[in-house]
């Protein structure tokens, strides 16, 4: 990863931050991204990494902000080797109670955000013959109660990944997805009722994953060691999908 230029969206905390720290520890130059409301924690992450990291505020669901961020990254770093589409939210509610706004917000950030970032990054990633890693979810493969919006977006990411891999494979770009199971981050710290216990029981390894365990898989898929892997979905779920 020495001197590779990597953009990780949604990297002020959680899995995204862990991915950024891991790339930086391997010598990569890291472009951090998050929304303006997260600027303080994004700045802290940048300071933890030091001069090899810069941060860029942009809402991934906003096409113009993403275009602007990509132009700034090209200017600051001179290109882009790896795009990690990690930014995501959940707004859970059963379909009967879900509002149009809750549906749209999750689709806009989790799915259209991937489109916006991949589209804007594509010329840079093609010219570096780099790679794209999209963070999907086991929920996009299996569904989950109260998550029709999230599941639809995460399933959409898988279709997007497979289609884009066919479009850009002959240009030397690999595109893959990771489907994490339940990982210990802010997103999963307030699961309702007995849910955490039930999930652990259903997970072969009997526990939630750690962000580092997702980061290792991202590093692998972004590395030359995964040079013949494209259009694939790697489950990092402790056996929950087995
Ligand atoms: P998190 O909430 O800790 O981190 C998500 C980050 O994305 C936050 O920093 C947030 O500010 C940022 N973000 C939100 N909206 C954004 C936007 N519009 N533009 C830019 N950044 C935005 O959650 P996490 O658990 O670290 O999740 C990271 C990714 O992994 C998400 O895509 C999530 O869906 C996925 N995932 C998480 C789990 C899990 O169990 N934690 C499981 C499967 C998939």
Ligand 1 centroid to 44 CA: how many Å? 17
The reply to whether 150 belongs to the active site is yes
Ligand 1 centroid to 10 CA: how many Å? 6
Which residue is catalytic, options 150, 160, 182, 208?
A: 150
- How many CB atoms are located within 10 Å of the residue 70 CB? 24
Burial 198-221 (b: 16+ CB within 10 A, else e): ebeeebeeeebbebebbbebbbeb
Homologous superfamily of 5-235 in CATH?
A: NAD(P)-binding Rossmann-like Domain (3.40.50.720)
Q: What is the pLDDT along the chain (242 residues), one digit of tens a residue?
A: 999 999 999 999 999 999 999 999 999 999 999 999 999 999 999 999 999 999 999 999 999 999 999 999 999 999 999 999 999 999 999 999 999 999 999 999 999 999 999 999 999 999 999 999 999 999 999 999 999 999 999 999 999 999 999 999 999 999 999 999 999 999 999 888 899 999 999 999 999 999 999 999 999 999 999 999 999 999 999 999 99
Domain coordinates of the chain in residue numbers? 5-235
Whether residue 130 contacts residue 175, with contact meaning beta carbons closer than 8 Å, is answered with no
């Amino acid at each position: 990863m020495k001197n590779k230029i990597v953009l990780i969206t949604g990297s002020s905390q959680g899995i995204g931050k862990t991915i950024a720290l891991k790339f930086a520890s391997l010598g990569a130059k890291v472009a951090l991204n998050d929304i303006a409301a997260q600027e303080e924690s994004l700045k802290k992450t940048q300071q933890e990494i030091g001069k090899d990291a810069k941060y860029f505020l942009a809402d991934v669901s906003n096409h113009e902000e993403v275009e602007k961020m990509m132009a700034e990254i090209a200017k600051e770093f001179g290109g882009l080797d790896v795009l990690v589409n990690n930014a995501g939210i959940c707004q859970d509610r059963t379909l009967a109670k879900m509002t149009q706004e809750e549906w749209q917000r999750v689709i806009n950030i989790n799915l259209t955000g991937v489109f916006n970032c991949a589209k804007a990054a594509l010329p840079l990633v093609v010219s570096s013959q780099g790679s794209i890693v999209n963070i999907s979810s086991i929920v996009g493969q299996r569904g989950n109660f109260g998550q029709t919006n999230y599941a639809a977006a995460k399933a959409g990411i898988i279709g997007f990944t497979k289609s884009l891999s066919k479009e850009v494979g002959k240009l030397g770009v690999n595109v893959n997805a990771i489907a994490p199971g339940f990982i210990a981050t802010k997103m999963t710290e307030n699961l309702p009722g007995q849910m955490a216990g039930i999930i652990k029981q259903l997970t072969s390894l009997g526990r939630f994953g750690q962000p580092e365990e997702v980061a290792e898989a991202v590093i692998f898929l972004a590395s030359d060691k995964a040079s013949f892997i494209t259009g694939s979905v790697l489950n990092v779920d402790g056996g929950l999908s087995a």
